[in-house]
């Protein structure tokens, strides 16, 4: 899950203190959405955990955050796209696939975006104020019917290879021979007395990624070095396992 903030300037700041709300009100049930090919629609539950109402906008993109919402071209419809979430209440979003031709042998990833805009305080005109709007992004995986196995079971097929990147830095290349996206949550290794941590990434179907080492380490783990890693399953839980550098 990715969380970020948009700044919404309600009043031009002058001299004095600035009040900044810093807590998001909307909580999404789950950290990812799975859309099976045969489903007519899927539901996503949101809850406003604060006492005050907020305005919420929801949309889906293909990963390119530079495209304005009104110009997005994705094969999903989400309803309601804009709504008022009352304090302490919930709202169900319904996501429907529009029928675009999709790869049959692998998942396709999109992103569900939730933007919440809190109400303007009644005394906003009497004080300088900078108000924040909060946004959350979670992955939406379109899963074709041909993929019937347990996605997390495919981790046994991952390949782990020590390599150098274009800058000459030591990296760990992770290959994914399955049709599922593999979302790594943590990856570490121990080469001799050196403890190595890697920056986790999502590994695409039938593809690979290069994981950079955390910090200033530049160690090459030899073949056979144990890799301890965890990945995130369909339910948002982490699944831990071990592998070896090839």
Give yes or no for residue 99 having a pLDDT over 80: yes
Domain residue ranges in the chain: 2-143, 151-244
Q: Is a pLDDT exceeding 50 seen at residue 18? A: no
Kindly report the CATH class assigned to 2-143. mainly beta
| Cα distance between residue 243 and residue 246, in whole Å | 9
> Residues in the chain, how many?
246
Q: Indicate the pLDDT class of residue 7, thresholds 50, 70 and 90.
A: very low
Tokens of 134: 């909060």
Residue whose pair of structure tokens reads 């709300």 in the numeric block: 21
Quick one: pLDDT at residue 14? 35
If 0-12 CB within 10 Å is exposed, 13-18 middle and 19+ buried, where does residue 202 land?
A: middle
Topology (CATH level 3) of domain 151-244: Immunoglobulin-like (2.60.40)
For 63-95, the pLDDT digits (tens) are 999 999 999 999 999 999 999 999 999 999 999
The pLDDT tens digits for 114-157 are 999 988 776 656 566 666 788 999 999 999 999 988 888 788 89
Entry pTM: 0.87
Cβ-based burial of 66 (10 A; exposed 0-12, middle 13-18, buried ≥19) = exposed
Q: Over the Cα atoms of the chain, what is R_g?
A: 22
d(CA 197, CA 204): 21
């Amino acid at each position: 899950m990715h969380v970020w903030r948009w700044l919404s300037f309600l009043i031009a700041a002058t001299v004095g203190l600035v009040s900044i709300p810093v807590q998001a009100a909307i909580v999404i049930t789950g950290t990812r959405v799975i859309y099976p090919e045969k489903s007519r629609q899927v539901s996503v539950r949101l809850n406003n955990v604060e006492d005050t109402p907020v305005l919420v906008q929801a949309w889906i993109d293909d990963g390119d955050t530079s495209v304005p919402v009104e110009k997005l071209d994705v094969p999903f419809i989400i309803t309601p796209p804009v709504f008022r979430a009352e304090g302490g209440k919930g709202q169900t979003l319904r996501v429907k696939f529009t029928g675009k031709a999709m790869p049959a042998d692998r998942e396709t990833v999109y992103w569900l975006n939730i933007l919440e805009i809190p109400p303007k305080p009644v005394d906003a005109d009497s004080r300088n104020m900078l108000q924040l709007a909060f946004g959350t992004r979670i992955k939406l995986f379109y899963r074709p019917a041909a993929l019937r196995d347990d996605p997390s079971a495919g981790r046994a097929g991952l390949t782990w290879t020590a390599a150098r990147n274009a800058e000459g830095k030591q990296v760990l290349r992770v290959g994914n021979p399955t049709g599922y996206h593999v979302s790594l949550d943590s990856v570490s290794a121990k080469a001799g007395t050196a403890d190595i941590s890697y920056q986790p990434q999502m590994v695409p179907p039938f593809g690979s990624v290069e994981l950079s080492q955390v910090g200033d380490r530049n160690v090459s783990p030899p073949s056979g070095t144990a890799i301890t890693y965890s990945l995130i399953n369909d339910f948002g839980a982490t699944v831990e396992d071990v592998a070896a550098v090839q």
